[in-house]
Structure 1
Amino acid sequence: MQRTLCFLFLFFFSVLARAELTVEITQGVDEPTPVAVVPFSWSGVQALPEDVAKVVGDDLYRSGMFKIMPRENMLSFPSDRSSLYFRDWRISGSDFIVIGRISEAEGQLTVAFELYDILKEERILGEEIKANRTNLRAVGHYISDKVFEALTGVRGAFSTRIVYVTAKQLAPSKHRYRLMLADSDGHNPRTILESKEPIMSPAWSRDGSKLAYVSFESGRPAVYIQYLATGKREKVQSFRGLNGAPSWSPDGRQLALVLSKDGNPEIYVLDLQQRRLTRITHHFGIDTEPSWSPDGQSLIFTSDRGGQPQIYSIYLPTRDVTRLTFEGQYNARGRLTQDGRFLAMVHQSNGSFHIAVQDLRTGRVDLLTETFMDESPTIAPNGSIILYATQEGVRGVLSAVSLDGRVKFRLPSSDGDVREPAWSPFQ
């Protein structure tokens, strides 16, 4: 029965257009921690292509957990401990301060930064980083990761990347689709693949070196693997019917797939070295959207075997199947946090599709979004943020929400729609 095929795998999105993403904070924590990020001093002659301190400040603000002091409100611009007067910064209301300096010698840059607790007048951390003019944004993200972890206890994920799918309408029946790669803040977008046919379901390998995705370039769905360093791509075994929803095993040796080569959509696992295909599910219902558990021992997947789409887990050594979701008539596209405790998913409520999270220890389900057509959740590698696609008016945007629902932001494109996000692992 094809009743649920659109929920499965062939979810065709509306007309899209390529654009760089921007970040708009829509909701943060009630009492964000006040932090001052002072412009880094520069001892060179030629102007730098990036403002490292601005990258850091923007990252911390984008997390929704910090209030960043405007530069025009700063009384001074210290770059080292000797020029830092804690009393002035206490008066300004900041709890923490990031200072830094950039120097150049023989064509190489040295970026030094320090984080201080203003109230305690103590240095929390400091480091020197070798850099060049082309990777200063990456240095800024690295510093943001360090500061974020020092102040929250959670590893920062600003240095990670995202992929997403765009398309542009060239004529009433002609489109151009692109698989895009960008920094986690939407900067530095580049095209990984361009096609006249749809591209779907991008998935990262756990080492961040490869992508798997579905392309219709041959006129029918097929799974491809793309090597990011070289641009090399290879077509995975292609079968009649559906070939889709690839998901990498934690060790990178296997791909979970959805195939309908035997007449019904089922979950399979492909050994990439031996090219051995193993069928995992055997049911008359539709099984789709596989995703690996962090330990590689189980797959979670969506199935309508109980009458409505719900999320199940199959323990691979024994093939025992356990139903995970019971609240509501529709739960799909499940993704686990790296600790295996929380399950992010698309949950239908009052006729609309929202992003929800379920605590697998307690069974509690929390609705995180209020928009009406949310899909494709993907979780930051530190487990703090869920990125997803949604509708804003008549166009699609990427939005994000923290696991506790306290922080929300959007990543709209400047002139079009984006879909199918996937967040990279730690690099």
Structure 2
Amino acid sequence: MTTMKKLNQVILTAGLALAATGSAYAQMRIEISGVGSNQIPIAVAGFADENVAPQEISAIIKADLERSGAFKIIDAGVITSMNNIDYSGWKAKGADALAVGTVAKLADGNYEVRYKLLDTVKQSELSQLGLSPTPQFVRLTAHKIADDIYLKLTGIRGAFSTRIAYVRQDGPKSFQLMVADADGEGEQMALRSNEPIISPSWSPDGTKVAYVSFEQKKPVVYVQNLITRARTVIANEKGSNSAPTWSPAGNKLAVSLSKDGHTQIYTVNADGSSLKRVSNSAGIDSEAHFAPDGSIYFMSDRSGGPQIYRMNADGGDAKRITFTGNYNISPHVSADGKTLAYISRRDGNYQLYAMDLASGQEQRLSDSTDDLNPSFAPNGKYIMYATQAGGRKSLAVVSVDGRVKQRLTTQAGNIKEPTWGPFMQ
């Protein structure tokens, strides 16, 4: 089975399972501010005959590329043929690259989508794809093409076809765990509860989400399979069970439990077996996050105030990582292990920071005052986090250099507790 077919199979099955809840929600609205330091000028042509498909593929591609802040979009109109391209003419219009494509509806109701990415400077072809999506996957196909453009022109894998999970709260007794495309479209409900849902965390293969639910009138850690909808209790010990996070291999989770009197970090198998304590301090240890090498970053107040530490997966001596400010929480490490995102309270404001782990240099990435729950895109180029403005809770995305910022809002309700899903293999 090809990678694309595997991706389609996983997302379709999960999507149908989630859609079985019968819930429909207004999509999120994205506001973009800022651009990258060196935008790549690209012309994205309207795909020939794309009006036969349920979504306009070229418009989705343009929106993805624009949202990234890495590209300057040049209007190209509609190009009906992918052959006999006037490279010099497009270069004269300021485009270093040109994306063209065609769409055809097949007899079986599916679509044939063809695309080419052309280098107008070298007058050569950079990439081409031929895809045959079902109607449900036309939007995903557009995201995959945008991913291909991002990779070919930046050298970094695109994350437009990934998914996000978050909690929507529509009232004091209305909580939903939601799953959506990375651009907020295709929003579907995975769980509804009258009690709070917090701390969702994607499994490395993108088929499961761990989270904390208060439906038993206390915090309990669950893992939910998005394909089968089956749920497994991972931690329901005496006291608080919180902050699940997956190991890189997906066979274990780290959780924070207070069963021994004060909150410490434990590891547990993905089926809820073999609970093992791995942190040991007289204070509070919580908010564990696995780095790609299997080590664990976590928050501890063992030094008198909450700071971020690192320890091996099986525990042992912990090394303090943050030293600036007296309140640093919610560590999250990028997929390449080079950057740490966290929330720091300074001058009374809770804001998003990023630290280069090699040099220890940090940078403030947000201008808001009440930020929470940072989560990296799987390519490490963007961070999603929860924020609040005007009394409304929403999601925000910022590039790791702080130049590109997005805000994702809804017309009603609050959205919070975001987690960015992995690349689908």
Asked whether the two chains share a fold, i.e. TM above 0.5, the reply is yes
CA distance in 1, matches of 2:423, 2:387: 25
| Equivalent pairs, count | 399
1:141 aligns with 2:143: yes
Counterparts in 2 of 1:367-382, with a 5 A limit? 367-382=364-379
For 1:162, the aligned partner's letter is I
Secondary structure, in 3 states, of the residue corresponding to 1:38? strand
Q: Which residue of the partner structure matches residue 178 of structure 2? A: 180
Distance 1:274 1:105, change over 3 A: closer
Choose which of 391, 395, 398 in structure 1 pairs with 2:395: 398
For 2:107, the aligned partner's letter is E
For 1:119, the aligned partner's letter is V
Q: Which residue of the partner structure matches residue 10 of structure 1? A: none
1:92 aligns with 2:93: yes
Secondary structure, in 3 states, of the residue corresponding to 1:159? coil
For 1:102, the aligned partner's letter is V
Cα deviation, residue 47, structure 1: 2.9
CA distance in 2, matches of 1:261, 1:19: 40
CA distance in 2, matches of 1:304, 1:19: 41
Distance 1:272 1:89, change over 3 A: closer
Q: Which runs of 4+ in 1 moved over 4 A?
A: none
Counterparts in 2 of 1:196-207, with a 5 A limit? 196-207=194-205
Q: Which residue of the partner structure matches residue 9 of structure 1? A: none
CA distance in 1, matches of 2:149, 2:391: 38
Secondary structure, in 3 states, of the residue corresponding to 1:148? helix
Secondary structure, in 3 states, of the residue corresponding to 1:29? coil
Q: Which residue of the partner structure matches residue 129 of structure 1? A: 131
For 2:35, the aligned partner's letter is G
CA distance in 1, matches of 2:247, 2:37: 38
Task: Give the root-mean-square deviation of aligned CA atoms.
Answer: 1.6
Q: Which residue of the partner structure matches residue 313 of structure 1? A: 310
Counterparts in 2 of 1:340-359, with a 5 A limit? 340-359=337-356
Q: Which residue of the partner structure matches residue 14 of structure 2? A: none
Cα deviation, residue 19, structure 1: 4.6
Q: Which residue of the partner structure matches residue 44 of structure 2? A: 37
Deviates more, 1:92-101 or 1:143-152: 92-101
Cα deviation, residue 78, structure 1: 4.2
Cα deviation, residue 106, structure 1: 2.6
Choose which of 64, 70, 78 in structure 1 pairs with 2:69: 64
CA distance in 1, matches of 2:256, 2:207: 23
For 1:136, the aligned partner's letter is V
Q: Which residue of the partner structure matches residue 48 of structure 1? A: 53
CA contact (8 A) 2:47 2:103 kept: yes
CA distance in 1, matches of 2:269, 2:160: 32
CA contact (8 A) 2:296 2:312 kept: yes
CA contact (8 A) 2:53 2:111 kept: no
Distance 1:233 1:394, change over 3 A: same
The two structures have a TM-score, normalised by structure 1, of: 0.90
CA distance in 2, matches of 1:368, 1:342: 13
Cα deviation, residue 54, structure 1: 0.9
CA distance in 1, matches of 2:46, 2:81: 8
Cα deviation, residue 79, structure 1: 2.9
CA contact (8 A) 1:19 1:416 kept: no
Cα deviation, residue 317, structure 1: 4.5
CA distance in 2, matches of 1:411, 1:145: 20
Q: Which residue of the partner structure matches residue 193 of structure 1? A: 191
1:420 aligns with 2:425: no
Deviates more, 1:312-321 or 1:260-269: 312-321
Q: Which residue of the partner structure matches residue 157 of structure 2? A: 155
Distance 1:275 1:31, change over 3 A: closer
CA contact (8 A) 1:38 1:78 kept: no
Distance 1:79 1:331, change over 3 A: farther
Q: Which residue of the partner structure matches residue 12 of structure 1? A: none
CA distance in 2, matches of 1:79, 1:394: 50
Greater relative CO (CA pairs within 8 A, separation 6+): 1
CA distance in 1, matches of 2:194, 2:315: 43
Cα deviation, residue 120, structure 1: 2.1
For 1:90, the aligned partner's letter is K
Q: Which residue of the partner structure matches residue 7 of structure 1? A: none
Question: Percent of pairs identical after alignment?
Answer: 39
1:26 aligns with 2:26: no
1:269 aligns with 2:267: yes
The two structures have a TM-score, normalised by structure 2, of: 0.91
Secondary structure, in 3 states, of the residue corresponding to 1:270? strand
CA distance in 2, matches of 1:274, 1:410: 36
Question: Which 5+ residue runs of structure 2 have no aligned equivalent?
Answer: 1-24
For 1:60, the aligned partner's letter is L
For 2:396, the aligned partner's letter is S
